[in-house]
A and B are shown apart, each in its own frame.
Chain A
Amino acid sequence: MPIDKFVKLESTCVPVPIENVDTDQIIPARFLKATTRDGFGDNLFADWRYDKSGNPKEDFVLNDPTYSGKILVASQNFGSGSSREHAAWAIAGYGFKAVVSSFFADIFKNNSLNNGLLPVQVSKEFLEELFQAIEKDPATKVEIDLENQKITLQPNGSSESFEINPYKKKCMLNGFDDIDYLLNISNEIATWEKANS
């Protein structure tokens, strides 16, 4: 089944300048009782975003009308901890299409790619430049060009290239799904099973 395609994105950004954001912060465990993929965006960063009575906390960035956009910019080691794919569903469900950080936890990265949410790994220096530019002007636009593997800070044209596995890049550009790929080689898997049983 196809995933959302990602080719090029130009958007303002939402900054979360906190290190080691774990998946329990992205979506706390008590929200994992659902049996579908829908609705997790409402509880993205729930404990940072709402108080005990469910009212928005003014000081959290998602509740600050100054910031909006389809790109989440976070500090290093984003998505550590639990393997819950619900974290990727919550971020995508909220409306983000890409997450930028100086490094991602492994499982989170895989989960994102499997949901058409692009993790963009940049250098610490470029990340710092992004945070500063967004802080100075929240209307700052950033362009992410997957075909050319390039992220550009629109106002000054400062840019950096980013890595992505060529297979995953093809999947993201075309909306291909890993399971379809594997189902297509099921004969090869059967042959391997026979030889190794």
Chain B
Amino acid sequence: MAGKTLFEKIWDKHVVTKVDGGPSVLYIDRHFVHEVTSPQAFAGLRDRGIQVRRPEKTVATADHNIPTLNQDQPIQDELSRFQVNKLALNCEEFGVPLYGLNHKWNGIVHVIGPELGITKPEMTIVCGDSHTSTHGAFGSIAFGIGTSEVEMTLATQTLLQNKPKTMRINIDGELGKGVVSKDIVLYIISLIGTGGATGYFVEFAGSAIRNLSMEARMTICNMSIEMGARGGMIAPDETTFEYVKGREFAPKGAEWDKAVEEWRQLPSDTDAEFDKELTYKASDIEPMITYGTNPGMGIGISKSIPTLEEIEKSTQATFKKSMQYMDFQPGDAMIGKKVDYVFIGSCTNGRIEDLRAFAAFVKGKKKADNVTAWIVPGSHQVEAQAEEEGIRQILEESGFEMRQPGCSACLAMNDDKIPEGNYAVSTSNRNFEGRQGPGARTMLASPLTAAATAITGKITDPRDFL
């Protein structure tokens, strides 16, 4: 019999039972909850007259629908204020721990889980948010769910799930100068498309992945949903253990040693079989940028937008619609295109390493006058650390301001909206039509490319400065 994959090892340990001819009942170790996708689920519990089965395995934060300025004051927008208050009321009624607005542990749900040591290897983790895949970077099964499934998890601590197929994507070799993990994941999605991994759970492997920091690994797993994957994961190793050790909710003492010993058994067996396997060379990857209206429409920054002839016939209508929305011409070069906004933040690139990389790049340079830049830390802890490391000061000296933590312009539920027709280089995860505000035109890129662009005011290859 073939060995087991990382995914299978964790999955098998969490199956409570299997429905005849149907899905498995999967036990959930940790359920993250936020204000936008939970109110209807709590209402469902109330209608059924039941409680949260395991409130201690549940944790809530407010992140999607909060302002990134003046967080100490009441939220101005009435609907947003009502929704954020509703979360607090629901958490109180059902006994769910809440790291709400102004709590020292508040932040984007996929930033705080790892930084508090709540996210660990070998877990099953869900949240009513598709970027829950981020937590897979620790060697866990983590995936996004809808609100009915949020209610299911609150009510039963289990989910009915069909076992997905498994895929391994290997990135071998060394990354070039100025190329970072965001570029790796945008590169993969540009090749396989936004539906390229639909139906699969993806394990990222290979020497280029092994050499990444935990935060860089999180960026890759975070965007596995953008290739359609149910989730992404990376086998835990010394980098993982080093990151988790000593954090607030990490195991301590003898318990820690026992846990690490168990986690060392998790990597896929050498004879494990995947339903699909893809391999790419790290040296083929250059800084990436998107030109269209889904994350699969990306190219190396030195390349040009495809011409209509290069697009498959059945996709041409969709491609044309996308070009029209972006007001780009097929065949255009990306370098040199004018940019109005730069956004650094989100669960993809709102961590301390991202702010460090951005600050190191802009240090001693000045923000271009035509660019409005929003730098939004992923959590209060990231914000505090940026303060402590002098990052805020570097940013301010270069003409940038740092806002307060939240999801912000990634989905523009709050006031952080890119105005209609404006171009934004964004370190977030989606360039869908209207994602960053009605009519906003988004180009996804790494924090380095965003930094280079913020300095020149037009799309710029970060390697020009390195």
Contacts and interface: CB of A to CB of B under 8 A. Distances in A.
A29 B152 CA distance: 23
A196 interface: yes
A168 to B, nearest CB: 7
Interface string A160-197: 00000111100000000011011101101100110010
A111 interface: yes
B294 interface: yes
Interface string B127-170: 01110100000000000111111011001111010101000000
A35 B39 contact: yes
A44 to B, nearest CB: 14
Contact of B155 (A75, A86, A183): A183
A24 B433 contact: yes
Contacts of A36: 39-40, 43
B434 A189 contact: no
A117 to B, nearest CB: 11
Contacts of B20: 167
Contacts of A80: 194-195, 228, 294
B51 to A, nearest CB: 12
A186 B65 CA distance: 34
B50 interface: yes
Interface string A17-35: 1111010110011101111
Contact of A25 (B130, B149, B157, B433): B433
Interface stretch (B80-88, B97-105, B387-395): B80-88
B22 A20 contact: no
Contacts of A37: 40
Interface stretch (B313-321, B355-363, B448-456): B313-321
A81 B432 CA distance: 9
Interface in A20-70: 20, 22, 24-25, 28-30, 32-37, 47, 52
A24 B434 CA distance: 8
Given A1-B48, A111-B148, A114-B146, A185 B39 contact: no
Interface bin, chain B: 35 or more
B292 to A, nearest CB: 10
Given A20-B294, A80-B294, A185 B25 contact: yes
A120 interface: no
Contacts of B27: 189, 192-193, 196
Contacts, number: 192
Interface in B286-315: 294, 296, 314-315
B71 to A, nearest CB: 18
B413 A33 contact: yes
A107 B144 contact: yes
B267 interface: no
A12 interface: no
A24 B13 CA distance: 35
A1 B151 CA distance: 12
A47 B434 CA distance: 8
A114 B159 CA distance: 12
Interface in A69-85: 75-77, 80-85
Nearest to A192: B16
B435 interface: yes
A106 interface: yes
Counting chain A residues whose Cβ lies within 8 A of the other chain, the interface size class is 35 or more
Given A47-B434, A47-B438, A167-B19, A110 B149 contact: yes
B36 A32 contact: yes
B147 A165 contact: no
A105 interface: yes
A114 B434 CA distance: 27
Interface centre among A22, A29, A47, A85 (most CB of B within 10 A): A29
A88 interface: yes
A167 B22 contact: yes
A103 interface: yes
B146 A189 contact: no
B430 interface: yes
Contact of B148 (A30, A178, A192, A193): A178
Pick the 7 closest A-B CB pairs, nearest first.
A167-B22, A85-B146, A35-B39, A111-B146, A114-B148, A83-B144, A33-B79
Given A30-B412, A114-B146, 7 more contacts: A20-B318, A36-B40, A37-B40, A47-B433, A52-B438, A105-B228, A106-B198
16 contacts: A19-B315, A20-B318, A28-B438, A30-B413, A33-B80, A33-B413, A36-B40, A82-B411, A83-B132, A85-B40, A103-B195, A106-B198, A165-B23, A179-B151, A182-B155, A189-B156
Interface of B: 13, 16-17, 19-23, 25, 27, 36-37, 39-40, 43-44, 47-48, 50, 53, 64-65, 77, 79-80, 82-83, 86, 128-130, 132, 144-149, 151-152, 155-158, 160, 162, 164, 193-195, 198-199, 225-226, 228, 230, 294, 296, 314-315, 317-318, 321, 411-413, 420, 430, 432-435, 438
